[in-house]
Structure 1
């Protein structure tokens, strides 16, 4: 089943026929918002507002572990994540859509980055964190509806909630070679891999961050909302086309990401630990 995670400004999915609303308490706490299960374009999907209804949570306050765990428990196999992002490249213009293939973690340690620890040791490969099969499907959907889409971009995740300095913007663009900057996709993308889920981010470019010399081009909340609405509609059009066609098979290295990653023996785990680990392994 496909799960859609909506970012800033995308708190509900128009056209989703609600069948059930799940308010789950997970071993990692509560989700950002109730998870809506329903039918979209005749297909069963899950929808979760990352920042909560009415945007209650700052990026570092989002309970990413609970969100990903709950989606997995409810039967998600793929995640289509929608996020706003600033552009670090002139060719990525405000209003454009960009598909992420790599993530650069520039956060500051305030977030819970892994399901593992506290008695369970595991190390999961994230060399290629985005699912290539889902990337292909999203690119193909955009092409069918003639929606321009920048592909294979690198997303830098910063801590926030403040907007960045120009020095930080130049560092991410030039030293880290990133194309986009945002505040939410880490650890979300990496937790999805730990949960053996296919994951891709479709970024809605809202601004040029602050690396340009002209202050009028710098990021602001006002500019964000000027651009975001149109980009959301384009993203929804891609999603609509995506769900109307069969998905490509998720590679085995994603579906079986935990097969050789967990170092702690099962007989060393508590009943509660075994229970949630079994859900991730399913």
Structure 2
């Protein structure tokens, strides 16, 4: 089943026939919002608002573990996220869409990064953190719709909630990052730990602050103004995707834990057994 995680400005899915709204309790606390289960075309889908239904959660306040766990518990095996991003490349213009294939974690340790620890040791490979099948599928539909989209880029995730300094912006550029954002880490890595295929559609809202012209530096107001304008592209793209068959799931993602766990099942307590059963589905 496909799940959509809506970012800034995406608090519901237009065109989705709602079947039920679920309040999910997880071993890791409450998700950002209730999860809507519905149908779009021939697909059964799940929808979760990353920042909450009223955008009340800052990026470092989001309970990423609860979000991913709740979606997995309800049957998600593939996730498409929607995110506002800053561009660190001149050719990725504000209003363009982009799909990261790589991530650079520049957060500051305020976020819980993993399901594991506290008696369960695991080291999941994230050399290729994104589902290549989802990325190609999204890019192909964007091309058919003549929507400008940049695939296979690198997303640098910063802590926030403040916007970055020019020195930080240049550092991320020199580190090989093409986009900067605040929310995809640890979301992308937790999805891999939950054996879920994951990809993000990033909506470029600005050039961050690396350009010499101060008039082109990012402000919160400019982010949201352009983001609202660009959401139509993303929702058009989503509608096209959901009218088509889903891409195949990669077996190496759907079995990621089989090569990652070091702790034997016999060492799990009853609660750990229960939530590990969900992650292994």
TM-score (norm 1): 0.98
3-state SS, counterpart of residue 257 of structure 2: coil
3-state SS, counterpart of residue 66 of structure 1: helix
CA root-mean-square deviation: 0.8
Residue 193 of structure 1: how far off its partner (Å): 0.3
What CA distance in whole angstroms lies between the structure 1 residues aligned with 2:162 and 2:123? 31
What CA distance in whole angstroms lies between the structure 1 residues aligned with 2:117 and 2:82? 28
Residue 14 of structure 1: how far off its partner (Å): 1.1
Q: 2:40·2:243 contact (CA, 8 Å) conserved in 1?
A: no
What CA distance in whole angstroms lies between the structure 2 residues aligned with 1:44 and 1:16? 9
- Render the CA deviation track for 1:81-137: whole Å, top value 9, x for unaligned: 000000000011111100110010000000000000011000000000010011111
* Partner residue, 1:228: 227
What CA distance in whole angstroms lies between the structure 1 residues aligned with 2:11 and 2:277? 30
Residue 15 of structure 1: how far off its partner (Å): 1.2
* Partner residue, 2:62: 62
Q: Which runs of 5 or more structure 1 residues have no equivalent in the other structure?
A: none
- Render the CA deviation track for 1:58-95: whole Å, top value 9, x for unaligned: 00000000000000010011100000000000011111
* Partner residue, 1:252: 251
* Partner residue, 2:48: 48
- Render the CA deviation track for 1:233-253: whole Å, top value 9, x for unaligned: 101111111111112212211
| 1:273 paired to 2:253 | no
| 1:113 paired to 2:87 | no
What CA distance in whole angstroms lies between the structure 2 residues aligned with 1:14 and 1:143? 22
What CA distance in whole angstroms lies between the structure 2 residues aligned with 1:127 and 1:281? 20
3-state SS, counterpart of residue 39 of structure 2: strand
| 1:71 paired to 2:71 | yes
What CA distance in whole angstroms lies between the structure 2 residues aligned with 1:198 and 1:189? 9
User: Which residues of 2 match residues 71-150 of structure 1 at below 5 A?
Assistant: 71-150=71-150
Residue 219 of structure 1: how far off its partner (Å): 0.7
* Partner residue, 1:178: 177
What CA distance in whole angstroms lies between the structure 1 residues aligned with 2:85 and 2:110? 20
Q: Which runs of 5 or more structure 2 residues have no equivalent in the other structure?
A: none
What CA distance in whole angstroms lies between the structure 2 residues aligned with 1:115 and 1:131? 20
Residue 42 of structure 1: how far off its partner (Å): 3.6
3-state SS, counterpart of residue 254 of structure 1: helix
* Partner residue, 2:193: 194
Residue 278 of structure 1: how far off its partner (Å): 0.7
Residue 181 of structure 1: how far off its partner (Å): 0.2
Residue 141 of structure 1: how far off its partner (Å): 1.3
3-state SS, counterpart of residue 121 of structure 1: coil
Residue 231 of structure 1: how far off its partner (Å): 1.4
What CA distance in whole angstroms lies between the structure 1 residues aligned with 2:144 and 2:210? 34
- Render the CA deviation track for 1:8-37: whole Å, top value 9, x for unaligned: 111111111111111111000000000000
| 1:10 paired to 2:5 | no
3-state SS, counterpart of residue 230 of structure 1: helix
* Partner residue, 1:28: 28
Residue 227 of structure 1: how far off its partner (Å): 0.6
- Render the CA deviation track for 1:138-161: whole Å, top value 9, x for unaligned: 111112222121110100000000
